[in-house]
């Protein structure tokens, strides 16, 4: 079967991994077979999510989209940035990318790390300072978790920045495990079946929000970022709090995975295989109007 144009480009450029024109984000990449397999798996996972959820308009007449890629300095956002640039380098992602870090005013935050890294890598970027840390500390009662308010404040600022930069989408580094954990948090604590979708539209209706790492395992992000020796910045705002719901859910899933390897992926696939007629939500399935198509024959 003849290869499509994108596949031809992929195979041609796959032979150039050691060439000088590879993006600086991959300079110094390990040459081991293990790392090459890891990198290929992550790239394939991201390509799959982008195509499956329609994150790119493939109409050649459509204007080139611009994405605001949110970079926290954690392993996941570094992996996201690198893979998106690899796809661009291979001719498979026809969008403009601008990296953005929102400095939220946390005490001790190493404010120079990301600007220096992005400049060295030649990545167009914007560093924004907004002291949401003080707001969170003032508004959240002692002993309560900061995540919900912190997330809302951060998201609002990122939407504003995206508009100012002329972007059509805000791109986040949430991976498969984040999505799975959020599902169980909503199940256990929120009383609903919901999680982080790979693609959604904001409330104002003017921006997409994408999660291209939706099919990528957290462990793969950790291995990739460590192998590339990216300068990881930990989130100290909430990382020291005990008893977080997400940490509890993570421990439960870890236990399931230990007892039955592969359980995470099975549960994740279930999120892609919903059957409304086999659940209990009458808003998703018309139980009242359900008829027996062969009722007349059976009632005779």
The CA distance from 64 to 74, in Å, is 28
Q: What is the pLDDT, as a whole number, of residue 15? A: 41
Using 50, 70 and 90 to split pLDDT, how confident is the model at 11?
Answer: very low
Q: Which two tokens stand for residue 116?
A: 């220096």
- Number of folded domains in the chain? 1
The CA distance from 269 to 299, in Å, is 40
The owner of tokens 């994108």 is 6
Mean pLDDT computed over 199-219: 97
Using 50, 70 and 90 to split pLDDT, how confident is the model at 169?
Answer: very high
The CA distance from 31 to 299, in Å, is 71
- Short-list 57, 294, 15, CA closest to 168: 57
Residue 45 DSSP one-character state:
H
Check pLDDT > 50 for residue 8. no
Q: What is the pLDDT, as a whole number, of residue 114? A: 95
Using 50, 70 and 90 to split pLDDT, how confident is the model at 133?
Answer: confident
Mean pLDDT computed over 190-195: 94
CB contact at 8 A, 212 and 172: no
Query: DSSP H helical segments within 53-175, as ranges?
Result: 75-89, 113-121, 132-139, 147-164
Q: Is 86 exposed, middle or buried (0-12, 13-18, 19+ CB in 10 A)?
A: buried
Mean pLDDT computed over 229-249: 71
Mean pLDDT computed over 82-87: 96
Q: Is 229 exposed, middle or buried (0-12, 13-18, 19+ CB in 10 A)?
A: exposed
The CA distance from 79 to 85, in Å, is 10
Print the domain residue range for 147. 5-299
Measure CA 203 to chain center: 19
Check pLDDT > 80 for residue 295. no
The CA distance from 173 to 196, in Å, is 11
Range among 15-19, 155-159, 263-267 with highest mean pLDDT value: 263-267
Q: What is the pLDDT, as a whole number, of residue 188? A: 93
Q: Of 25-29, 132-136, 165-169, 174-178, where does mean pLDDT reach its minimum?
A: 132-136
| Main-chain dihedrals φ then ψ at residue 174, nearest 5 degrees | -70, 135
Q: What is the pLDDT, as a whole number, of residue 132? A: 74
Check pLDDT > 50 for residue 9. no
What is the three-class DSSP state of 182? helix
Report the CATH number at residue 26: 3.40.50.620
Q: What is the pLDDT, as a whole number, of residue 113? A: 94
Q: What is the pLDDT, as a whole number, of residue 21? A: 53
Q: What is the pLDDT, as a whole number, of residue 247? A: 87
């Amino acid at each position: 079967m003849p290869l499509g144009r994108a596949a031809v480009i992929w195979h041609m450029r796959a032979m150039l991994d050691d060439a000088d024109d590879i993006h600086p984000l991959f300079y110094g990449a390990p040459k081991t077979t293990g790392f090459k397999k890891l990198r290929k798996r992550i790239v394939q996972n991201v390509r799959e999510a982008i195509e499956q959820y329609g994150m790119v308009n493939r109409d050649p007449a459509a204007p080139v989209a611009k994405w605001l890629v949110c970079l926290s300095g954690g392993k996941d956002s570094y992996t996201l940035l690198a893979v998106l640039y690899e796809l661009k380098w291979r001719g498979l992602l026809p969008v403009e990318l601008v990296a953005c870090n929102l400095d939220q005013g946390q005490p001790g935050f190493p404010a120079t790390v990301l600007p220096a890294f992005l400049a060295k890598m030649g990545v167009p970027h914007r560093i924004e300072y907004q002291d949401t840390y003080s707001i969170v500390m003032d508004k959240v009662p002692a002993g309560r978790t900061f995540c919900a308010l912190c997330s809302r404040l951060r998201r609002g600022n990122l939407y504003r920045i995206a508009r100012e930069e002329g972007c059509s989408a805000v791109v986040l580094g949430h991976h498969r495990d984040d999505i799975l954990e959020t599902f169980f948090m909503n199940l256990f604590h929120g009383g609903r079946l919901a999680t982080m979708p790979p693609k959604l539209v904001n409330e104002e209706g003017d921006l997409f929000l994408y999660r291209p790492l939706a099919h990528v395992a957290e462990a793969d992000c950790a291995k990739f970022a460590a192998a590339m020796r990216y300068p990881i910045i930990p989130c100290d705002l909430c990382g020291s709090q005990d008893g977080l719901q997400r940490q509890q859910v993570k421990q439960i899933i870890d236990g399931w995975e230990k007892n039955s390897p592969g359980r995470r992926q099975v549960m994740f696939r279930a999120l892609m295989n919903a059957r409304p007629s086999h659940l209990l939500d009458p808003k998703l399935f018309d139980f009242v109007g359900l008829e027996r198509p062969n009722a007349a024959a059976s009632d005779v």
